[in-house]
Amino acid sequence: MWNLDRIPNEIIGQGRNKSSKIAAIAPHSRLIMIRLLLFAALVSTALACGPRSRATYPARPAQRPRPAPRPHPPTPKPAPAPAPQPAPSTPASTPSTPTPVFTSPPTTTTAAGEEEPHIEEDRRRRRRDVHPLYAEEQQDLQVQVELALSFHS
């Protein structure tokens, strides 16, 4: 394989016989072989997984331009449900007085058919006040504010 007599003694050391020279060179050659095998595996993987030719992929179909979306007609808003009237619970001894019935305030709409912002805000507030998760969140915020105020005072 190699002519070991030609390797200068400065590289592998003085006074070594032929078998000790092989033992001194073998680890180096093993590293070279391992590196070559790893490089060959890397190259073969890159060639196998690399970009493919255009013939492999079908051509993309030409995309037609999309038509412009049509405007949707405005959806009619449902009429507000009448508020439930409380059952009259008047004893016979007291004179009956008419009980006021709560009705939602009349909604005012703009020319475009949208409700005015303050009315929408009132509706959102009523919904939030009723929702239990919102009530918990409000309670947590109130506790945090109280803690912050107690630290600052």
pLDDT of residue 21: 61
Rounded mean pLDDT, 140-148: 89
**Max mean pLDDT range (21-25, 77-81, 93-97, 103-107):** 77-81
Q: Report percent pLDDT > 70 for the chain.
A: 45
Does residue 101 sit within a domain?
no
Does residue 107 sit within a domain?
no
How many folded domains does the chain comprise? Answer: 2
| Residue 95 pLDDT greater than 60, yes or no | no
Length of the chain equals 153
Does residue 141 sit within a domain?
yes
Does residue 90 sit within a domain?
no
Does residue 86 sit within a domain?
no
Does residue 77 sit within a domain?
no
pTM: 0.22
Rounded mean pLDDT, 137-151: 87
| 8 A C-beta contact, residue 49 and residue 31 | no
Non-local (6+) Cβ contacts of 116 within 8 A are 107, 108, 109, 110
pLDDT of residue 38: 93
Does residue 131 sit within a domain?
yes
Reported as a single tens digit per residue, the pLDDT across 39-48 is 999 998 888 8
Give the domain range for residue 15.
4-49
